[in-house]
Amino acid sequence: MDISTTPLRYELLAEVGEGSYGKVYKAREVGEKHRLLAVKKFNIRGDASETGIPVFMIREVALLRKMKYFNHPNIVQLLDASAVSVGRSLDLTLVLEYIDQDLSTYLSKVPASGLSQDCIKDVMLQLLRGLDFLHTNMVLHRDLKPENILISSHGEVKIADFGLSRIYTYNIALTPGVVTLWYRAPEVLLNSVYMSSVDMWSAGCIFAELFLLRPLFQAYTEVQQLQKIFDPLLQVVYNVVCLYLQQCLTFRPSSRISAAKALSNEEQMEENLSSFFLPDPTLSLPVLCHEIQRTHVQSKDCSPAS
């Protein structure tokens, strides 16, 4: 499974995450570069020839290897991968470029006054470029959420964690059990066939979270999630705040905007992302919706007559 001619040598610095299959470490490359690395170490217990490597691990390695050679600036880069048998278990190691934090951590540090429009616009444009690259290469991420979007101290945005990703064709029906609930598109909740538009729904939810500083649709069952999506108050938020948000959160998947279309006229896209109403993220939902409606009416009253 090695993908580099010479395996990277590194020293582990600190454990930064843990999951059901393994741990993630911050590491430093040994040698001239001394660059920081993210090292994912998985331990598959039991006879690997019998139990096999979990499907999500195979998918992540395969997709990252495929995308490695494009070196897209908005996709996390896989630098090395190896699998070693240890007794009756298998140790799988992925070495990736190190990014300071994920978007969820970044948002938790934002002051109550919220992010600036320029910052929101920059994050979304980079996210859309990454999604456009994935979809052009027939890859669905299927688990897009703030925890799977990395953002560096320099403002670089990179899509990560491809364990649930799939390569798709236009006539395949994909399995419904994907995407974290709060960012799950209606067609997934309703067990319908879905395509790349599920990622655009998730992107719309993330866009709303950038200015609300909290998830737009926050429920704990699939039924509750659908109720949130069709809540008239929440529809005020995404129908008035910005046309782009409305285009992402369109119920009919075929009518949902694609990343390619959103980026086809970048000047218009930037203008669209710059023209939304930026609400106070500290307001409760009813007060927030009232404020949005009031501001929207005022802006229409003040617009020049045609």
Binding-site annotation: residue ranges for ATP: 41
Instruction: Name residues whose C-beta falls within 8 Å of residue 36's C-beta, 6 or more positions apart in sequence.
Output: 26, 27, 28, 29, 98
Coil, strand or helix at 237: helix
> Can you tell me the distance from the alpha carbon of 215 to that of 203, in angstroms, rounded to the nearest whole number?
12
3-state secondary structure of 230: coil
Cβ atoms of 161 and 148 within 8 Å: the answer is yes
3-state secondary structure of 247: helix
- DSSP conformational letter for 146: G
**CA distances, 280 to each of 40, 169, 283 (Å):** 38, 42, 6
Given 143, 161, 280, 301, which residue is catalytic? 143
Query: In whole angstroms, what is the distance from residue 216 CA to residue 239 CA?
Result: 13
- Phi and psi, residue 89, nearest 5°: -120, 170
Residue 143 known to be catalytic:
yes
Tell me how many degrees the CA angle 103-167-251 measures, rounded to the nearest 5: 65
Distance CA 188, CA 197 (A): 11
249, 204 Cβ separation under 8 angstroms:
yes
In degrees rounded to 5, what are phi and psi of residue 50? -95, -50
Amino acid symbol at 241: V
Active-site residue list: 143
